[in-house]
Amino acid sequence: MPRTPPAPASASALPSLDRLLRSPTLSALIQGHGRIRITRLLRSHLQVLRERTSAGQLSAADLQHAIEGPALLAAIDAALAADARQDLQPMFNLTGTVLHTNLGRALLPEAAVHAVSRAMTAPVDLEFDITRGRRGDRDARVQALVCELTGAEAATVVNNNAAAVLLLLNSLANRREVVVSRGELVEIGGAFRIPDVMRSAGARLLEVGTTNRTHPADFAHAIGTRTALLMEVHASNYAITGFTAKVDTAAMAAIAHQHGLPLAVDLGSGSLCDLAAYGLPHEPTVQDTLAAGADLVSFSGDKLLGGPQAGILAGRADLIARINRNPLKRALRMDKMGLVALEAVLALYREPELLAQRLPTLRLLSRTRQDIEAQARRLLPPMRSAMAADYSIELAPMHSQIGSGAQPQAQLASAGLRITCTRRGGLDRFARRLRQLPQPVLGRIGDDALWLDLRCLEPDDEARFLAQWSALQA
């Protein structure tokens, strides 16, 4: 017997927005989120139902069901959850890159998080001198810390290191020339390119030497009446190897000083401690660079320093004073949250023996391969048991990277899990599943495998990681 098709819904059966808003079903949601937001979500829900009704896609029974209590609640809950997914989401960084620019670079230490939260919820002496009872200097505390830690005469801070370089060039070399080695005209992440920054700052770039070799005489010959300063730029994200020659900081400083000019060094990452002491590749520190004769050094807050986004300028007091007088300084200044976090991070450097425990960046960078391998061994069995038969997962040695352009060639011995799949497209599908987890997991795909480097999985987060992994059932 042919079944009669269900009766189509009629638009007149759609309840009014007002009626739904008055229904007891929604009162708890209105209490929790306010009438304005629930009205907005309800209105778009009704609009969808109206469109599906006019398209004849809903039976009268479907529509009736959709506007009844539980289904309506579920729909609004889903809309709230969809909004929440647009917020920044915590992730598991198993890429092996510790300072991952796309994932927000350095993680802040507890001390900084507390300091920020305190400063956010109470008035603070940000620009107030409590002793004298009058206006104070916003940068004074950070300046004192930077000077104490680096031996600099003076210091100032701005929003990021790109801003620091722009400000330094605009303050000291507007409409004048800056001499830079051709091998150091770096581009960092697309938008920051030394020649472009020079132009924006109003400075004229004078490139000297060749891509692979630059000699002291190249600098000496380039200096003229319009020269404002000599500049050295840390190559950061690339390396020139083979038949190369570079004028070191001390030699550049000597040339600059012979001509009465300052030497500025953009260190990029800028470390305040000797990384070699932690088994990491050597990186020139800010204090070494100043001691070698640099008059100004600029560096990032959220790279090797392990702090918030910031750009720090340290060096000669007269140059810092000129920089602070530039109106651009005010435009590029750091916000309160960043400033407070930076102070807290710098303060940790006063107790260097404890730094590798307290500062997440250094803690992660200095983890040994043995430690990471033991963790991988621990995690392997429960991870394996949640995976389908056509996937295989095994322990594998890996190489982590510092990231953010610091020491691009340095390979930190690490370990993790290597996942392969016999099905075509299986790996990409699996990687997508991992990104869809409540706390998305990001690995690295290469050589027909998905590599999960465990360097950045802190032991405290293991249980949470495993709990959501077990729910995978790939």
Which residues form the interface with ligand PLP (CB under 6 A)? 160-162, 165, 186, 188, 192, 233-234, 236, 266, 268-269, 300, 311, 405
For tokens 């500062």, name the residue. 359
DSSP characters for 31-88?
A: HHH-HHHHHHHHHHHHHHHHHHHHTT--BHHHHHHHTSHHHHHHHHHHHHHHHHHTS-
Smallest separation (angstroms) from ligand PLP to the CB of 179: 17
Smallest separation (angstroms) from ligand PLP to the CB of 395: 34
In angstroms, how far apart are the furthest CA atoms of the chain? 104
Nearest CB to ligand PLP, comparing residues 311 and 443: 311
Smallest separation (angstroms) from ligand PLP to the CB of 55: 50
Smallest separation (angstroms) from ligand PLP to the CB of 32: 40
Smallest separation (angstroms) from ligand PLP to the CB of 240: 14
CA distance 438 to 77: 16
Q: Is 399 helix (H, G, I), strand (E, B) or coil?
A: strand
> Which residues touch 234 (CB under 8 Å, ≥6 apart)?
184, 186, 265, 266, 267, 268, 269, 284
Smallest separation (angstroms) from ligand PLP to the CB of 308: 10
Nearest CB to ligand PLP, comparing residues 42 and 180: 180
Nearest CB to ligand PLP, comparing residues 163 and 223: 163
CA distance 460 to 97: 19
Smallest separation (angstroms) from ligand PLP to the CB of 70: 50
Nearest CB to ligand PLP, comparing residues 375 and 407: 407
Nearest CB to ligand PLP, comparing residues 190 and 446: 190
Nearest CB to ligand PLP, comparing residues 165 and 169: 165
Nearest CB to ligand PLP, comparing residues 188 and 427: 188
Nearest CB to ligand PLP, comparing residues 139 and 373: 139
Q: Is 92 helix (H, G, I), strand (E, B) or coil?
A: strand
Smallest separation (angstroms) from ligand PLP to the CB of 331: 15
DSSP characters for 227-288?
A: EEEEEEE--TT----SS-B---HHHHHHHHHHTT--EEEEEET-BSS-GGGGTS----BHHH
Smallest separation (angstroms) from ligand PLP to the CB of 163: 7
> Which residues touch 9 (CB under 8 Å, ≥6 apart)?
53, 58, 59, 60, 62, 63, 64
Give, in degrees to the nearest 5, the angle at Cα 160 between 165 and 199.
Answer: 35
Nearest CB to ligand PLP, comparing residues 234 and 329: 234
Q: Are 124 and 339 in contact, with CB atoms under 8 Å apart?
A: no
CA distance 6 to 96: 56
Which residue's CB comes closest to ligand PLP? 268
Burial of 201 (0-12, 13-18, 19+ CB in 10 A): buried
> Which residues touch 331 (CB under 8 Å, ≥6 apart)?
none
